[in-house]
Amino acid sequence: MKFGIIVFPGSNCDHDCYHAVKHVFNKEARYIWHKETSLEGLDCLILPGGFSYGDYLRTGAIARFSPVMSAVAGFAKKGGLVLGICNGFQILTEAGLLPGVLMRNKGLKFICKRAWLKVGNNSTVFSSAYEAGAVVNIPIAHADGNYFADADTMKRLEDENRIIFRYCDKEGNTTPDANPNGSCGNVAAIVNASGNVMGTMPHPERACEDILGRADGRAVFESILRGLAG
């Protein structure tokens, strides 16, 4: 069971993801420089958070042209697991591996805080370790997390049960007040149609150890490990 963590110029949660995989869950992991093109022997790719290419032009818009990205697309097509966190999510939408786009937060400011999330579909390979409808607490840290998709796409995401996390309040109500960035339908994390690519704005790798507060992000990794163990 081997994880690959892609390092774009400007990635800055690469070490955090590596630490979670390698030292919290004791699984093999290696960094993949964005100019590499072979993803041989890997079971799960993580596109970490950060500011690839400084977020210049538009978040993720330049990184999608990195040489590694065509390999990532091929890997996903063959059913490999791909997890995009924060900037990773933004890159996946720019690359067309996930629908929609992440716009500037409605308040126009960067927001770093712990967010309450309601678990949607818990039958995916990224969410099976959560209880359906559970209310969990995972940090967010982004300036561009305002998920937008047109009405048809939103309907498809709903109908196909592809929303994994929605922003909510402590009691689990997905109200506009509980929406920190203006996302359509309070969307915080989605999967692709085949369920093997997930994009999440909340950072599960920041919530894997009790010493850092509630460890509600662990279940994302536990789900993946369970899925890979088959």
Partner 1 sequence: MKITDAVIKEHGLAKGEFSRIVDMLGREPNLLELGIFSVMWSEHCSYKSSRVHLRNFPTKGPAVLQGPGENAGVVDIGGGLAVVFKMESHNHPSFIEPYQGAATGVGGILRDVFTMGARPVANLNSLRFGSLDNPKTAFLVQGVAAGIAGYGNCMGVPTVGGEVYFNDCYNGNCLVNAMTVGIVKKDRIFKGNASGIGNPVIYVGSKTGRDGIHGATMASDVFGEGGEERRPTVQVGDPFAEKLLLEACLELFKTDYVVGIQDMGAAGLTSSSVEMAGRGGTGIEIDVDLVPRREDGMSGYEVMLSESQERMLLVARKGAEEDVAKIFRKWDLDVQVIGRVIDGKKVRILEGGKLAAEIPVAALTDDAPVYERPMQRPDWQDGVNSLNMKDVPLPRDYNDVLLKLISSGNIASKEFIYTQYDHMVRTDTVVCPGSDAAVIRLKGTDTGLAMTVDCNPTYCFLDPFTGGAIAVAEAARNLAASGARPLALTDCLNFGSPERPEVMWQFKEAVMGIREACLELGIPVIGGNVSLYNETSGKAIHPTPAIGMVGLIDDIKHHQTQWFKEAKDVIYLIGTGGEGLGGSEYLKTIHGLEKGLPPRLDLKREKSVQEACLTAIKAGIIRSAHDVSEGGLAVAVAEACFNPDGLLGAELDVDIQGLRIDEALFGEAQSRIIVSLRMGDIARLRDICVKAGAPAKAIGAVTSTPCLRVWNLRKWKFIEMDVERLKDAWSGSLERMLHAGL
E-assigned strand segments in the chain: 2-7, 28-33, 44-47, 81-85, 101-103, 111-119, 135-142, 146-148, 163-167, 187-191, 197-200
Candidate list 21, 32, 55, 227; residue touching partner 1; CB under 8 A: 55
Q: Contact with partner 1 (CB under 8 A): which of 3, 27, 44, 49?
A: 49
Q: Could you give the string, one character per residue 151-190, with x where binding to partner 1 holds by CB under 8 A and - elsewhere?
A: ----------------------------------------
Name the helix (H) or strand (E) containing 71: helix 68-77
Nearer to partner 1, 45 or 63 (CB): 63
Q: Catalytic site residue 203?
A: yes
User: Which amino acid, residue 18?
Assistant: Y
Give least dist CB 113 to partner 1, A: 5
CA dist., res. 197 & res. 162, Å (int): 11
Are 83 and 198 a contacting pair, CB within 8 Å?
yes
Give backbone dihedrals phi and psi of 187, rounded to 5 degrees, phi first: -65, 130
Interface with partner 1 (CB under 8 A), residue total 31
Q: How far is the CB of 155 from partner 1 (least distance, A)?
A: 33
In the region spanning residues 3 to 32, those forming contacts with partner 1, defined by CB under 8 A, are 9-10, 12-13, 15-16, 19-20, 23
| Position among 53, 126, 147, 167 found at the interface with partner 1 (CB under 8 A) | 53
Q: What is the CA radius of gyration of the chain?
A: 16
> How does DSSP classify residue 187?
E
**Cα–Cα distances in angstroms (integers) from residue 143 to residues 16, 147, 155, 198, in the given order:** 19, 12, 26, 20
Alpha-helix runs per DSSP H in 118-198: 151-159
Site string for partner 1, 188-217 (x = CB under 8 A): ---------------x-xx-xx-xx-----
Catalytic site residue 112? no
Binding mask 97-136 for partner 1 (x = CB under 8 A): ------------xxxxx-----------------------
CB atoms within 10 A of CB 182: 16
Smallest separation, CB 182 to partner 1 (Å) = 16
The first and second tokens of residue 45, run together, are 């790719």
Question: 94, 142, 203, 208: which is the annotated catalytic residue?
Answer: 203
What is the contact surface with partner 1 in residues (CB under 8 A)? 9-10, 12-13, 15-16, 19-20, 23, 49-51, 53-56, 109-113, 139, 141, 143, 203, 205-206, 208-209, 211-212
Q: Give the catalytic positions in this structure.
A: 86, 203, 205
